[in-house]
């Protein structure tokens, strides 16, 4: 169990890294718009992929 | 039941037809503005906008030629230095978009603008309605993009960062980072405390005890010295001002728990005879910060509303200088600059006329819709519109110091005053905190003499578990949420006691003109002669009236299709012009007839009549249509009055207008109490009369002559078109003049009171239960932290329910 003396300090380093990355995200404006992404995932924009009567979709999704 | 416009949900004026098939269904519109926008949306293949949206759109302002030209001013590089940055060939700008009502609007705008050739990226922030645009100057002009946005019915301005918004942004960013640090540390500490707890059951070696304690200490240090700083600062302020708030026990708890645990870690032997509380400290801080964050979000919401200076005053202006005419951003206009204001333009600053003469529409400031003559030396206020001829105005106050800006600043300041309820809650909270501190000391003393090892944990638990959150946290959240909600619906609450006054109102007095009625001239009916079609007659009339800014012209605006030629205005008489080859006249009876005989079948009408005549082969003018205009009752007046009567509130009308029209209005609305031809003094004595009978009176008017009464009533509401002094002195302003919002406000006041009562009940129950248990030593600190945090979150979320 002595390995804990190595592992736990290592995890402290990781936590510090995580906090630093979070700080960068906040500063670069990732958290500025907390409502937008919730709405934009609901807008599909796939109406031209729905197949018409002759069963051919006008716009095929990229293969 | 009148039909509603598919685009903006306003009532379609009788006789107006504009239809478009959207998603295989024919839909009607209220004006050519909405129709044009719908056409643009459909032709862009974006019909899904109407399916996606959750709110109706705003009725668009007519995009006049002059406004289009104004947009082109933004292509001027001198103007662009303010808000555009260019790197290589890509330019970036921040714009502020107005009239956005829901997420679908943002979807629509983003798609449409991104389609424009040369636009690299265009995104709008859902919260702030700020757009960031990057485009290539060579491929596409900024004015093209701005025009597209305007054509879709939205307002657009360069984004002007003001101090309040900047501070709010920084505050929000720091708060999020603090929460993140506290959250991560809380999770780590909780994880590391598990072996310590398990160890006290099944045994653990001292080296590991030391390891876990040390690591917990390291994790918790940034929480105490960074994340919890706001609490310490507030507690210090509390001590200095001798006004106790929740922050004091919280800070004491955090500081003492951390210090004690640090002492144990650093100086004692690693035996498990004392506990370490780093996990409680971190969790406690995390939950408290979360609660504060939600309250801050609600508080900042009002900063993003569109009702600010930028939307009332124009962003650019043309200045006359020795070198000629130059364009300037409006906020850079200096004292003494001579501004050129053309017909249809809005004055950007306060000033006085140095050349030219014209008439100005001052309804933005005074509510008076008839234009006022301005000649040499006349004062012009920023925000008023030039109705006739070009004038040259010398600036006497810059945009920041103009009357309009001052009014908005004062309104904002009044809004940020602490409501009375909150002040009361704060006082009760401070007594509660004093009680808790006292209890903690007493209980601590007791335990010190009976079982000293339990002193610390017990005192800590008492400090932590008691929560005056319903008072200090939830009530402000509730008030802010409801204020923002009502402001978005169009009611701006400026004084603190407004909601409580709504709850206790027994009688409500309405003014007539401008409150129950529209306050502007509307087309009631059209009567045609011969084989003239009423639609055609309306088109002709509208095409002639498009050249006039007179209030009567506004009545014909919805019917405008295209302009007439060679239109000349005869002051006080009417208009004459050419439409599709024929000569027409529109005006009063003598002018339209040009002194020939009148047809016998003229309709009688109590209001204003305007006649349209056509010049025939014999060069005689034949009347082809008679338009009947009057100030009509607002559509929602009946519903509004009925709703109040159903609630048990008595409705009265007090008006300065003559008896016949007041009687007519009272009959239409089924109001039994009304008085006509009232002077302001008579109105005031009527109100005082009711008050001596023990009634609580609310008064609604547009206030040009209502000022004394509005201060006399307990609750006064000004209509959106009222003069600025009236708005300042009233307790609330109905910005969009929709009376239905009043009913909504009264209902919301009831809801708010209910929710605050619920919060208080919860807080009392919780504290009565927890405090004795903590004093007995039954609650360990981590549990106390959990309980306290959950209690605050419960109460804050309950308040946030008011958003719906």
pLDDT (average), residues B529-541: 82
Percentage of chain B beyond pLDDT 90 is 5
B389/B794 Cα distance (integer angstroms): 61
Higher pLDDT, B804 or B732: B732
Mean pLDDT of B344-359: 85
pLDDT tens for B702-757 read: 765 566 666 677 888 888 766 666 666 778 888 777 888 889 999 988 898 888 88
Does B763 touch chain A if contact means CB atoms closer than 8 Å?
no
pLDDT score, position B309: 47
Q: Tell me if A24 is assigned to some domain.
A: no
Q: Do B211 and A8 touch (CB under 8 A)?
A: yes
Average pLDDT rounded to a whole number, residues B638-654: 89
Least confident of B66-70, B346-350, B625-629: B66-70
Distance CA B231, CA B224 (A): 10
The predicted pLDDT at position B470 comes to 64
Residue B125 to residue A32, Cβ atoms within 8 A: yes
The vertex-B368 CA angle with B362 and B373, nearest 5°, equals 55
In chain B, which segments carry CATH 3.40.1110.10?
Answer: 520-632
CATH 3.40.1110.10 fits B520-632, yes or no: yes
Confidence of residue B307 (pLDDT cuts 50, 70, 90): very low
| Nearest CA among B743, B732, B745, B670 for reference residue B703 | B732
Query: CB-based contact (8 Å) between B181 and chain A?
Result: yes
A36 touches chain B (CB under 8 A): yes
The HSE-up count of residue B153 (CA atoms within 13 Å, CB side) is 24
For chain B, say whether A19 makes contact (Cβ under 8 Å): yes
**Fold held by B314-401:** 2.70.150
Average pLDDT over residues A14-25: 94
Q: Which CATH architecture has domain B479-517+634-746?
A: 3-Layer(aba) Sandwich (3.40)
- ipTM rounded to 2 decimals: 0.79
Please write the tens of the pLDDT for every residue from B10-40.
767 766 777 888 877 888 887 777 787 888 8
What are the tens digits of pLDDT across the range B478-500? 877 788 788 777 787 777 678 88
The predicted model gives B50-64 an average pLDDT of 70
- Residues B602-622: what's their mean pLDDT? 73
Query: What confidence score (pLDDT) does residue B306 get?
Result: 46
In A1-63 the beta strands, taken as DSSP E runs, fall at none
Long-range contacts of B586-593 (CB under 8 A, 24+ apart): B586/B540, B586/B541, B586/B544, B586/B545, B586/B610, B586/B611, B586/B612, B586/B613, B587/B611, B592/B621, B592/B623, B593/B621, B593/B623
Residue listed under structure tokens 């662009």 = B80
Chain A neighbors of B100, CB-CB under 8 A: none
Q: B155, B115, B151, B150: which is closest to B135 by C-alpha?
A: B115
Domain hosting residue A50, numbered range: 35-63
Choose from B119-128, B207-216, B465-474, B779-788 the range with maximum mean pLDDT: B207-216
Query: Which residues 84-103 of B have a C-beta within 8 angstroms of A?
Result: 103
Domain boundaries for CATH 3.30.70.100 within chain B: 65-159
Note the pLDDT of residue B671: 86
Among A7, A8, A9, pick the best mutation site for testing chain B contact (most B Cβ within 10 A). A8
Across the range B784-797, mean pLDDT stands at 79
Most confident of A47-61, B67-81, B351-365: B351-365
Q: Is residue A19 part of a domain?
A: no
Vertex B487: Cα angle to B486 and B490 (nearest 5): 90
Q: Where are the domain boundaries for CATH 2.30.170.20 in chain B?
A: 1-60
Domain-embedded: residue A47: yes
Q: Provide CATH 3.40.50.1000 ranges for chain B.
A: 479-517+634-746
Residues in chain A: 63
Structure tokens that stand for B53 in this block: 């949206």
- Report the mean per-residue pLDDT for chain B: 79
> Per-residue pLDDT averaged across B279-284, rounded?
84
CB contact under 8 A, A31 and B188: no
Mean predicted confidence (pLDDT) in B105-123: 86
Q: Which of B124, B172, B177 sits opposite A23 (nearest CB)?
A: B177
* Chain B hits for A50, Cβ within 8 Å: none
Closest approach of A36 to chain B, Cα-based (Å): 5
pLDDT digits over B662-693, tens only?
Answer: 787 888 888 888 888 777 777 778 888 888 88
In a domain, residue A59? The reply is yes
The answer to whether residue B413 scores a pLDDT higher than 70 is no
> Is the model's pLDDT at A57 over the cut of 60?
no
Confidence (pLDDT) at B260? 84
The average pLDDT across A4-31 equals 92
Q: How many domains does chain A have?
A: 1
Question: Which residues of chain A neighbour B127 with C-beta distances below 8 Å?
Answer: 32-36
Q: Point out the least confidently predicted range of B293-307, B674-688, B693-707.
A: B293-307
pLDDT of B217:
93
Cβ burial, residue B533 (10 Å; 0-12/13-18/19+): exposed
Query: What's the pLDDT at A21?
Result: 95
Q: What pLDDT does B607 receive?
A: 59
pLDDT of residue B224: 93
**Looking at the predicted structure, is the pLDDT value of residue A22 above 60?**
yes
Return the half-sphere exposure (C-beta side, CA atoms, 13 A cut-off) of residue B127: 17
* Euclidean distance between the first and the last CA atom of chain B, given in angstroms as a whole number: 27
Asked if residues A35 and B127 have their Cβ atoms less than 8 Å apart, the reply is: yes
Cβ-Cβ contacts under 8 Å for B70 (sequence gap 6 or more): B314, B316, B345
Averaged confidence pLDDT in chain A: 81
B1-60 adopts what CATH topology?
Ribosomal Protein L24e; Chain: T; (2.30.170)
CATH class of B65-159: alpha beta
**Helix, strand, or coil here: B358?**
strand
Would you say residue A25 has pLDDT above 90?
yes
């Amino acid at each position: 169990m002595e390995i804990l003396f190595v592992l736990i300090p290592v995890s402290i380093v990781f936590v510090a890294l995580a906090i630093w990355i979070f700080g960068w995200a906040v500063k670069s404006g990732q958290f500025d718009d907390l409502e937008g992404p919730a709405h934009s995932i609901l807008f599909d924009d796939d109406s031209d992929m729905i197949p018409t009567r002759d069963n051919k979709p006008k716009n095929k999704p990229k293969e | 039941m009148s039909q509603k416009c598919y685009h903006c949900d306003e009532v379609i004026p009788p006789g107006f037809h504009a239809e478009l098939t959207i998603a295989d269904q024919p839909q009607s519109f209220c004006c050519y503005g909405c129709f044009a926008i719908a056409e643009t949306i459909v032709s862009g293949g974006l019909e899904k906008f109407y399916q996606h949206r959750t709110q109706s759109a705003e009725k668009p302002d007519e995009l006049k030629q002059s406004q289009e030209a104004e947009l082109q001013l933004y292509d001027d590089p001198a103007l662009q230095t303010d808000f555009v940055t260019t790197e290589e060939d890509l330019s970036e700008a921040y714009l502020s978009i107005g009239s956005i009502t829901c997420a679908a609007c943002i979807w629509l705008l983003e798609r449409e603008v991104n389609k424009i050739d040369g636009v690299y990226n265009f995104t709008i922030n859902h919260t702030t309605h700020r757009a960031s645009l990057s485009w290539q100057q060579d491929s596409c002009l900024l004015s093209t993009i701005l025009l597209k946005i305007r054509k879709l019915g939205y307002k657009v301005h360069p984004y002007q960062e003001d101090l309040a918004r900047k501070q709010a942004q920084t505050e929000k960013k720091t708060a999020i980072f603090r929460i993140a640090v506290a959250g991560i540390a809380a999770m780590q500490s909780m994880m590391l405390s598990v072996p310590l707890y398990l160890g006290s059951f099944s045994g653990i070696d001292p080296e590991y005890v030391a390891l876990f304690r040390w690591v917990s200490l390291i994790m918790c240090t940034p929480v105490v010295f960074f994340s919890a700083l706001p609490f310490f600062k507030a507690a210090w302020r509390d001590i200095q001002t001798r006004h106790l708030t929740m922050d004091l026990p919280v800070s004491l708890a955090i500081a003492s728990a951390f210090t004690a645990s640090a002492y144990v870690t650093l100086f004692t032997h690693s035996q498990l005879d004392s506990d370490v509380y780093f996990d409680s400290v971190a969790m406690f801080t995390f939950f408290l910060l979360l609660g504060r964050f939600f309250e801050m979000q609600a508080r900042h919401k009002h900063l993003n509303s569109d009702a600010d200076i930028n939307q009332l005053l124009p962003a650019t202006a043309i200045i006359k200088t020795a070198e000629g005419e130059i364009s300037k951003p409006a906020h850079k206009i200096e004292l003494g600059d001579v501004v050129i204001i053309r017909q249809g333009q809005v004055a950007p600053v306060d000033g006085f006329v140095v050349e030219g003469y014209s008439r100005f529409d001052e309804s933005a400031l005074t509510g008076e819709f008839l234009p006022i003559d301005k000649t040499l030396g006349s004062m012009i206020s920023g925000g008023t519109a030039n109705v006739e001829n070009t004038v040259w105005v010398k600036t006497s106050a810059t945009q920041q110091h103009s009357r309009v800006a001052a009014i908005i600043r004062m309104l904002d300041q009044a809004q940020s005053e602490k409501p009375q309820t909150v002040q009361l809650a704060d006082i009760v909270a401070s007594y509660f905190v004093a009680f808790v501190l006292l209890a903690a000391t007493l209980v601590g003393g007791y335990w010190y003499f009976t079982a000293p090892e339990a002193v610390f944990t017990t005192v800590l638990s008492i400090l932590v578990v008691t929560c005056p959150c319903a008072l200090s946290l939830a009530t402000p959240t509730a008030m802010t949420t409801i204020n923002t909600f009502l402001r978005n619906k169009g009611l701006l609450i400026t004084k603190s006691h407004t909601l409580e006054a709504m709850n206790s109102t027994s009688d409500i007095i309405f003014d007539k003109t401008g409150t129950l009625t529209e306050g502007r001239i509307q087309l009631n009916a059209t009567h045609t002669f011969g084989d003239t079609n009423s639609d055609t007659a309306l088109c002709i009339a509208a095409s002639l009236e498009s050249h006039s800014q007179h209030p009567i012209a506004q009545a014909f605006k919805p019917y405008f299709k295209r302009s007439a030629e060679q239109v000349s205005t005869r002051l006080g008489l009417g208009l004459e012009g050419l439409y599709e080859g024929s000569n027409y006249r529109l005006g009063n009876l003598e002018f339209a007839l040009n002194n020939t005989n009148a047809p016998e079948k003229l309709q009688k009408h109590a209001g204003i009549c305007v006649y349209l005549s056509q010049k025939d082969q014999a060069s005689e003018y034949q009347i082809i249509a008679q338009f009947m205009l009057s100030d009509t009752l607002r559509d929602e007046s009946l519903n509004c009055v009925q709703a109040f009567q159903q609630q048990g509130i008595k409705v009265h009308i007090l008006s300065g207008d003559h008896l016949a029209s007041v009687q007519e209005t009272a009959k239409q609305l089924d109001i039994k109490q009304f008085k006509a031809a009232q002077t302001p003094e008579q109105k005031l004595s009527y109100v005082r009369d009711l008050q001596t009978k023990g009634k609580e009176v609310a008064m609604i008017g547009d206030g040009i002559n209502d000022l004394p009464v509005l201060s006399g009533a307990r609750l006064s509401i000004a209509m959106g078109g009222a003069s600025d002094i009236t708005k300042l002195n009233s307790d609330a302003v109905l910005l969009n003049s929709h009376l239905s919002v009043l009913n909504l406000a009264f209902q919301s006041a009831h809801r708010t009171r209910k929710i605050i009562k619920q919060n208080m009940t919860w807080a009392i129950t919780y504290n009565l239960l927890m405090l004795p248990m903590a004093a007995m030593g039954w609650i360990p600190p981590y549990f106390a932290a959990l309980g306290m945090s959950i209690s605050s979150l419960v109460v804050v979320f309950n308040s946030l329910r008011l958003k719906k």
